Structures are given as C-alpha cells and as structure tokens.
C-alpha cells in the first residue's frame, strides 16, 4: 500500500533564511515559528536580510553550542534555487552534527560534498519534498467522509495557516478532524502528508484521493491547498488537488490589499466573487454539491481600526463567515460548517 511522506525532525531548529528580502518567500520559516515555536532555537540571517522572524539571531557556532538538532532551510524562493554562498554554511552545520532539512525541489544528496559532511557529523539529510512511490491516477469516485479544502487566488496567502487553525477549531468543537498537509511546511508541522507540487502531473488527483481517503461519515479532512487555479505558473497543481480532494466545501483565503500575483506583477488577481464562482464551477466535476463555506482573511496589513468593519462588510456581501484565523480563530467557520453539514459538534 502506498504510504504518505513522513518526517520526524530533530529539535530544536535553527531556521536558515539567509539574505531573503521578501517575507513571502520565507513562508516555511514563518510557518514553523507560528505553529511550532517551542521547537525553534533561532534564525540564521546573512548581511542584507530584511526578514525577521522575531526569534533570536544565532551564529552557526552559537546554534551548535545550544544543541540545535536541525538546520532547516526556511525559504522557498521561486525555482527553489539555493544561493551558492549558502552551501558552505550548510555543510558546516552538517559537520557540526545538525540534520539538514530541506523542503525545496532539490535533493540534498545531489550536492557534492554534503553527504560526506553529514556522515562525518552523524547528521541526517532530510528531503521533505519527496512524494511516495506508486501513486495512483485519480478515479473521481465518491468516497465517504467530509472534506474541506483551502483555496485562494494566489500563493502564500494563508491556505496552510487556515487549514491548521480550522482543524484545531473543529477538534475543539468535538468534531472528528484531521489536517492533511500538502506542502513542505505543512508536512514539517504535521509530520506527514504528500508534497503535491512534487507529484507527476498525471497523479496529482490520485495523490489527493490517497491523502484524504474514505472515512467515517462525520469525519472532516481539512486539506491544505496549494497554488491557485488562477495562477499563471501553479494552476495545474491547484486544479488536480481540487478534483482529487472532492471537497464538500472550501474556504477562500484572501488578502484584501494584494492586487497582483506575488512574483508575477504583470497578472492582476480576480475579484473574490469570481474566485468563489470559479471554484464551484470547476469543483463540481468531482463534487457536484461543492460550496464555499467561508472566507479566511489575512488582515495583517489593514489598519487596526478598519479590520472589524472590513470583515463585517465582507460577510454581508458574501453571506458567509469571514474571519482572520490568527486573530479571530475559526469558531465562526466551524459553527457554519457544522450547521450546513448537519454534523453535531
């Protein structure tokens, strides 16, 4: 039987963000700090870095003296290319006994000299973005259980955070729920999943079916979305995940101030109503009764005195619960989900 990708990382972590200037591309490190703060010792930044995770700055020697177990590559730049200047530091960390953890498309063992450094330091090379073997082609057959997918008009807009927060809220409400990770950071946090964007295109929907299999009728799988069906580069993975997940409902993740595709500024983002309508239209292919069940809003860049009014206007316009999960929690989404699903809380 095909298994999920499973990882067990050695804490505490030193998060390598190098000279990154755009917080969007440091989402791996940010996610780990948000959801696993007790496992983070600090951050390793180079000259010119404009991203600060709010954790201690440590040199490699300080991290080794503090007993750091893993150096986690905390960035996910477009194309997944690690700057050449970083490799000497990564190799030094391996020789110091730190596991090297990567969620990028590259394979750590392919880097000349790194495997030898890890062997010398009795460290592991952990590639998270490796899908399981022998994945099936999706069949689109209806399966038991309930599934919720997080979607958006763009990348790095809250799909992972929303899935984690919603799963927590469902379980607090007494519902059966499992968060299904589909990206490198989610897998690092949850400990298992399938890195959907590393799956050969023909098998994406089958991988999504495997990730969220038939379950008890009142069990929820909260599936972390990837990419966007509107994205000029990553639409394929998003559509395959939508069809394979067969979600009963989806939550749209939304940034009210983002107007263009991050990293693709020549593409504007569609309005929220178009995002909802298009997901319903495309999702009906494998889930005829699919519906939008709420909007998860990243209000971090809104003025504090405008946040509540904005969410209220959005809720009135959509007729759906609209929350910022990191500020408001997801109880309003959960109440709506349990009400429309008929599942007792």
Residue 260 lies in a domain: yes
123 with 210, same domain? no
335 with 189, same domain? yes
How many angstroms separate the CA atoms of 275 and 152, rounded?
7
Helix, strand, coil % in the chain, rounded to nearest 5: 35, 20, 45
Of 299, 301, 336, residue with least CA distance to 314: 299
Tokens, residue 25: 């591309």
Residue 132 lies in a domain: no
Which of 127, 158, 174 represents a domain boundary (last residue)? 127
Tokens, residue 145: 């259980």
Find out whether 246 and 287 touch, Cβ atoms under 8 Å. yes
87 with 51, same domain? yes
Domain count, the chain: 2
- Provide the CATH number for the domain around residue 280: 3.40.50.300
170 with 283, same domain? yes
17 with 92, same domain? yes
What are the φ and ψ backbone dihedral angles of 69, each rounded to 5 degrees? -95, -25
Find out whether 252 and 148 touch, Cβ atoms under 8 Å. no
Query: Could you list the residue range(s) of the whole structural domain that residue 318 is in?
Result: 146-341
164 with 217, same domain? yes
Tokens, residue 260: 């263009």
Contacts of 1 (CB under 8 A, 6+ apart): none
Of 329, 227, 314, residue with least CA distance to 279: 227
Predicted TM-score of the model (pTM):
0.90
- Provide the CATH number for the domain around residue 22: 3.40.50.720
Which of 96, 127, 158 represents a domain boundary (last residue)? 127
Residue 136 lies in a domain: no
302 with 198, same domain? yes
Residue 319 lies in a domain: yes
How many angstroms separate the CA atoms of 132 and 130, rounded?
7
105 with 162, same domain? no
153 with 90, same domain? no
How many angstroms separate the CA atoms of 324 and 312, rounded?
12
Q: What is the pLDDT along the chain (345 residues), one digit of tens a residue?
A: 457 888 899 999 999 999 888 887 888 999 999 999 999 999 999 988 989 999 999 999 999 999 999 999 998 766 667 888 899 999 999 999 999 999 988 899 999 999 999 999 999 999 999 999 999 999 999 999 999 999 999 998 999 999 999 999 999 999 999 999 999 999 999 999 999 999 999 999 999 999 999 999 999 999 999 999 999 999 999 999 999 999 999 999 999 999 999 889 999 999 999 999 999 999 999 999 999 999 999 999 999 999 999 999 999 999 999 999 999 999 999 999 998 876 543
186 with 223, same domain? yes
Q: Mark out the alpha helices in 42-183 (DSSP H runs).
A: 60-65, 87-95, 114-120, 159-172
159 with 203, same domain? yes
Find out whether 214 and 142 touch, Cβ atoms under 8 Å. no
In this structure, how many other beta carbons lie within 10 angstroms of the beta carbon of residue 10?
16
Residue 57 lies in a domain: yes
Q: What local confidence, expressed as pLDDT, does residue 105 receive?
A: 86
190 with 295, same domain? yes
Residue 140 lies in a domain: no
Of 216, 196, 230, 201, residue with least CA distance to 147: 216
Residue 134 lies in a domain: no
């Amino acid at each position: 039987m095909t298994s999920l990708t499973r990882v067990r990382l050695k804490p505490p972590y030193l998060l390598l963000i190098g000279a990154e200037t755009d917080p969007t591309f440091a989402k791996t490190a940010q996610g780990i700090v948000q959801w696993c703060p007790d496992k983070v010792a600090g951050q390793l930044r180079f000259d010119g870095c404009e991203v600060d995770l709010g954790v201690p700055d440590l040199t490699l020697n300080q991290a080794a003296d503090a007993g750091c177990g893993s150096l986690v590559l905390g960035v996910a730049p477009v194309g997944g290319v690690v700057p050449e200047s970083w490799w000497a530091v990564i190799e030094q960390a391996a020789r110091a006994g730190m596991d090297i953890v990567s969620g990028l498309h590259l394979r750590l063992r392919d880097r000349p000299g790194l495997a030898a450094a890890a062997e010398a330091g009795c460290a592991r090379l952990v590639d998270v973005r490796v899908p399981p073997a022998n994945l099936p082609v999706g069949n689109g057959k209806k399966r038991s259980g309930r599934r919720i997918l997080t979607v958006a008009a763009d990348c790095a807009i809250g799909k992972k955070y929303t899935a984690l927060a919603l799963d927590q809220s469902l379980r607090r409400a007494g519902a059966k729920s499992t968060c299904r990770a589909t990206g490198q950071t989610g897998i690092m946090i949850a400990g298992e999943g399938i890195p959907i964007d590393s799956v050969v295109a023909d098998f994406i929907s089958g991988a999504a079916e495997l990730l969220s299999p038939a379950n008890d009728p009142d069990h929820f799988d909260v599936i972390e979305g990837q990419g966007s069906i509107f994205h000029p580069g990553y639409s394929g993975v998003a559509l395959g995940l939508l069809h394979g997940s067969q979600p009963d409902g989806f939550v749209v993740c939304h940034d009210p101030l983002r107007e263009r595709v991050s990293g693709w500024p020549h593409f504007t983002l569609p309005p929220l109503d178009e995002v909802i309508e298009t997901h319903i239209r495309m999702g009906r292919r494998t889930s005829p009764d699919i519906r939008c069940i709420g909007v998860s809003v990243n209000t971090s860049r809104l003025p504090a005195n405008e946040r509540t009014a904005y969410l209220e206007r959005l809720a009135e316009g959509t007729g759906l619960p609209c929350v910022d999960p990191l500020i408001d929690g997801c109880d309003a989404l959960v109440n709506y989900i349990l009400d429309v699903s008929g599942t007792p809380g």
